[in-house]
Amino acid sequence: MKTTDFNTYKTRYRNAIRQVLAQTESGRLDEAAFPAYSHRNPIINWLFWQRLRKVMEHIQRPTSYERILDFGCGSGVMLPYLSQISNQVTAMDVDLLPLESVQVHIPLAKNVEVKDASKTNISDLPANSFDLIIALDVLEHVKDLPRTLNELLTLLKPGGQLIVSGPTENILYRIGRKIAGPEYSGAYHERGIAEIKTELAPISRIEPIATLYWPIPLFELFAAKKL
């Protein structure tokens, strides 16, 4: 993705998020990362959007994917891009208010279907059916990580990949959350990215994508492929 295209994408979505925040109860959309993607501090804002750009660059390819799952889609910030590179996209989350709020400003593409994860389990989706699964900054929140990871890998077609991003939860990350503002300082993560990688290591092949950024590693991104 060219820098100009990415900046246009970013500006459109950031403006929509800011409009939603202006009309929503304070704190209601914090876990969907609304404050991060719309943060007025340019460094914080840049860091969160760079994570998405790294993922976009990693998954882009000349031919379209058949099916992509956005697990824990949140505000749906990846969906406009995913809908352009895949024939069918499934968006899934336990809380659909963030996505529904943004839809008012950025309607979903026709090839995107939405599933309520509080009513539909991962295991209800067909096995070996997705070329790509995106799980960005969501696995640190789930209660039963081993089960969730096994079920996600089961959904992948042979050769498919699970794209994961998450916080390092190191001391620098924790300090950064406090500096960023009160909406970031709560202890709501079950784990950090290192624990997720440890759990995936015996059941998948892990390929690094990026660490943002040395010498202050705050987030890590990687791809996991079924063995």
Count of the separate structural domains present in the chain: 1
User: What is the predicted pLDDT for the residue at 178?
Assistant: 54
**Of residues 126, 159, 133, the one with CA closest to residue 70:** 133
Can you give the CATH number for the domain in which 189 is found?
3.40.50.150
Distance CA 218, CA 215 (A): 9
What's the pLDDT tens digit per position in 67-76? 999 999 999 9
User: What is the predicted pLDDT for the residue at 168?
Assistant: 85
DSSP strands (E only) in 172-218: 204-212
Query: Which domain covers residue 11, as residue numbers?
Result: 3-226
- What's the predicted TM-score (pTM) here? 0.90
Per DSSP, 108 falls in state P
What's the pLDDT tens digit per position in 36-55? 788 778 887 888 899 999 99
Mean pLDDT of successive 10-residue segments in the chain (227 residues)? 92 91 77 75 84 96 97 95 98 94 95 96 96 95 94 96 87 53 52 93 96 87 94
**Bridge partners, 163 (sequence order):** 134, 223
**Of residues 61, 48, 57, 51, the one with CA closest to residue 1:** 57
Which residues touch 12 (CB under 8 Å, ≥6 apart)? 106
What's the pLDDT tens digit per position in 75-92? 999 999 999 999 999 999
